[in-house]
Structure 1
Amino acid sequence: MAGERRPRKRSAAPLEDRPVRLPDKNVYDALVECLETGRYHSAQAYAQDMAERDVFRGIGAKQVIGRLLVLRDACGRALHARFHRQPKALQRALDLYEPVMNRILTIVAMAFLQERERAVGRGREQLGALVEAGMTLTAERSPESVLQRIVEVACRLLDAKYGALGILDGQGGLGQFITTGISEEVKARIGPLPVGKGILGVLVREAKPLRLRDLTQDPRAHGFPPNHPPMHSFLGVPIISKGRLFGNLYLTEKQGAEEFSKEDEKLAVTLAAQAAIAIENASLYEEVQRSYDELKRSQRLLVRQEKLASLGRLAAGLAHELNNPLSSVAGFAEALQRRAAEAGTAGQPGLAEFQEYLTLIQEEVSRAATIVRRLLDFARQREPSFGLVDLQGVVANAVAFVQRQARLANQQIVVDPVPEGSVAYADAQMLQQVFLNLLTNALDAIEGGGEVRIAARHRRDPGGRGPGRAWLDVMVSDTGTGISPEDLARVFDPFFTTKEVGKGTGLGLAICQSIIEQHRGTIEVQSEGPGKGTVVTVSLPLGE
């Protein structure tokens, strides 16, 4: 139409200045960004980024290349759609983008394959490390050594700065904490370690892996000591043995990365499974060793009892043979002493010392009678009458028996209270005899002055799969004469004594050992040498 002004056609901008909009798909958005913004400094940098993207993980090399080929074709179609009426511009676009796309395709494929090769290499290294870790752990026989090695191996495999192993106490909390990466000085500054609150309590209750980028940002991250080293990245996995939670493995501060990866978590879970087997093996080995030791102890006890029985029969025979003449001597001495007192011997030649001699005869006969009585006690050792016994009362009664004697001799007995709950399956009278004998020996050792102390404590055997057996240790110590190393090896031999001639029969400790062994306990004598005192430790299993 005349007069109409047709809109003026805008001149096309040079192709190099125009952004080209490519298909915006999730898989290819990084490539779109690359082509539109040019933010990558090189195709190699872009290819490396593409190869490491999650979208290309978990798929094969053919799939990666196939996706890139589809992308290249999509780019070509996009260019044809945009410049289909501008053949020259289209050709310039294709000349510009096709080499770039082909180059990117080649580099991405190569980078991807290189990344896969590196991943395979890392996998081989991890597999080798796991095999080595498994061999190392299964070679350990002590449960304590196994637990420490688990933490150390986990930190090394997963590049963690700190590691810990929390072991359940059987009551839903953490009874033991084994650490690595923390010096003894730092441990002392930290103070008591966590007992199962906060994030550690969650792991105990849920018994499943937990991976955090920043522990400090988690609301459950509490319960740690205030002086604990800072922790950010965190990985915790359960150690489950025979379907039961044994404890948890904790790793913090991933070195060279901001967080532990999923691959790290899988590796930690695998290591935890190996650890569970190693713990089980070590526990079984310890049980076998304990059973073997118990068998050897029983054999030694049986042999010892047979020897003591033979010795006891001999002692009983000797006691009976000696008892009659001793009784006669004692009776005649008493009669002579009475007659001498009636007749009066003062001032008579040869008879002035008569009373003194008779007194010495009576004293020596009394001492001989005591030896005979101890021989009979040794020969007549009875079987224990077991029942639940409060050891606190047993020890207190033994102390009460000797306390008056000690005061009269100006000797001091220091008593540390026996812990509450010290109940054992025992014979109260026999154990009281043991402690009375030990206290008497200790008082004899400080005749010239010193101190006797009796103390007690609870302890548990280390258990590989939970709390071990509970024991009561009772220590009777003195600051007296001490025992030489050569005599220390013979203190439990019947009739052996370190006391002066005439002051001991050498049967007390032999009887004590026999009684304690009948109670499935142990008795040990320690001394650093003459003049350095003695410590006798009686260990008795507590009834639970």
Structure 2
Amino acid sequence: MTVVSPERFSSLIQGAATITANSDLTALLFATAETARETTGARYAALGVIGEHSTLVEFHHVGFEPATAEAIGHLPVGRGVLGTLIRSAQTIRLDRLQDHPDSTGFPPNHPVMESFLGVPVRVGDRVFGNLYLTEKPGGFTEEDEDLVEALATIAGSAVANSRMQQRMRRLAVVEDRERIARELHDAIIQDIFAVGLLLQGLALRLEDERERREIEDAVGRLDEAITMLRRFIFDLRRPSEHGRDLVIELSRIVRQLSDPYGIEVKVTVADDLSDQRRELSGALIDDVCQIVREATSNALRHSGTPAIEVRVESGLGSLVITVVDQGRGFDPRTANEGMGLKNLRYRAEKAGGETTIHSHAEEGTAVRVVLPI
């Protein structure tokens, strides 16, 4: 393994936090591809999911303009170099994709790609899919390879966690809940613990005291995640559920997101919701928390804002979420939305809601999501 620069290692830590923050599997896969693209400086990235017949059954890509993606039409199924990566389950790094003996060229309307980095994403002892990156100016380096392999390890653990959560939501029988609790303890907690050991080992390679402290903080957050999982396991084994407090959950989320940036995030839940708070369904609270997480994370990472305000209010048969920053803003008519905003829109639409974004250069951004109650 190469010695990773402090700046890129810090980017890796932030990227890991973004990936693991997603409980929805599709959003998680998009976040992994986008994080890998941003971390390496590649123009395009994708995460392909491998099916039972060793072909790609899903292909989540970032970096393509919508018109280009539409013109290409069919998504890859795993031929050429992509097929070689599926069969070998080993990292492939190329300066020029066309020089590989298994290269089969590109379909009509596909942009030309030369530099290539492909890394398997493993869940347990099986390859779940592959992470693909192309078109980095100057080509991919050994350091890029190490960083993306680390991201793939983190993504694999996050996929396992997401799958386990999905299974838990489908199962209500006491025996099944007990079995899931054991699997969470024996598999997921051990994976998170292993990632913590990996970070601690990488910290020993750094001489900068500030960077070491950042890593120690990240390891501390992983320890907190393990503690939360253990509480979750305890709750699984209890026969009854307890009410959830939206204010407490939102405050915890924004604190975890904002602490690394040192930016104040104010959370306000309107008084007229106080009597309803424990009556909100668990699914609705999940949607609110994930939307606030996505919008807040996007503002922290990209806006350069000194402060963020999160408001949750009730309307006529609806719940209104507003996240406002004082950052640099953008023109929604011309800007290419990053995966953060795309994931946010996806979550809102999945919950039957609508998303509105108001932004102007140097005037900040307001994200407003209306969800039905």
TM over 0.5: no
TM-score (norm 1): 0.31
State which structure, 1 or 2, has the greater radius of gyration over its C-alpha atoms.
Answer: 1
